[in-house]
Amino acid sequence: MKTESRNYGKLAIVALAFTLAFSAPAFANDGDKGENTNATELKFIGNMENQPVFELNLTNKVEDEYTVIFRDEYGNVLYSDKFKGTGITKKFLLKSEDLGDTSLNVVVKSKKGTTEVYTINRNHSYVQETTINKVK
CB 96 within 8 A of CB 124: no
Nearest to 108 by CA among 83, 87, 91: 83
* Residue 12 domain flag: no
Q: What does pTM read for this prediction?
A: 0.62
The CATH number covering residue 66 comes to: 2.60.40.10
User: Could you tell me the pLDDT band of residue 25, with boundaries at 50, 70 and 90?
Assistant: low
* Residue 127 domain flag: no
User: In the predicted model, is pLDDT for residue 68 greater than 90?
Assistant: yes
Residue 1: the pLDDT is 47
C-alpha span between 63 and 84 (Å, rounded): 7
The strand pair at 77-85 and 64-72 is best described as antiparallel
122 exposed, middle or buried (CB, 10 Å; 0-12, 13-18, 19+)?
A: middle
Residue 121: the pLDDT is 83
User: In the predicted model, is pLDDT for residue 28 greater than 90?
Assistant: no
C-alpha span between 68 and 53 (Å, rounded): 15
C-alpha span between 99 and 108 (Å, rounded): 19
| Domain count for the chain | 1
* Residue 31 domain flag: no
Q: What is the dihedral of CA 24, 29, 34, 36, to 10 degrees?
A: 130
Hey, which bits of the chain come out as E strands? Answer: 38-48, 51-60, 64-72, 77-85, 88-93, 104-110, 115-120
* Residue 9 domain flag: no
User: Could you tell me the pLDDT band of residue 107, with boundaries at 50, 70 and 90?
Assistant: very high
Residue 21: the pLDDT is 58
User: In the predicted model, is pLDDT for residue 82 greater than 90?
Assistant: yes
User: In the predicted model, is pLDDT for residue 86 greater than 60?
Assistant: yes
* Residue 135 domain flag: no
Nearest to 95 by CA among 112, 118, 72: 72
* Residue 82 domain flag: yes
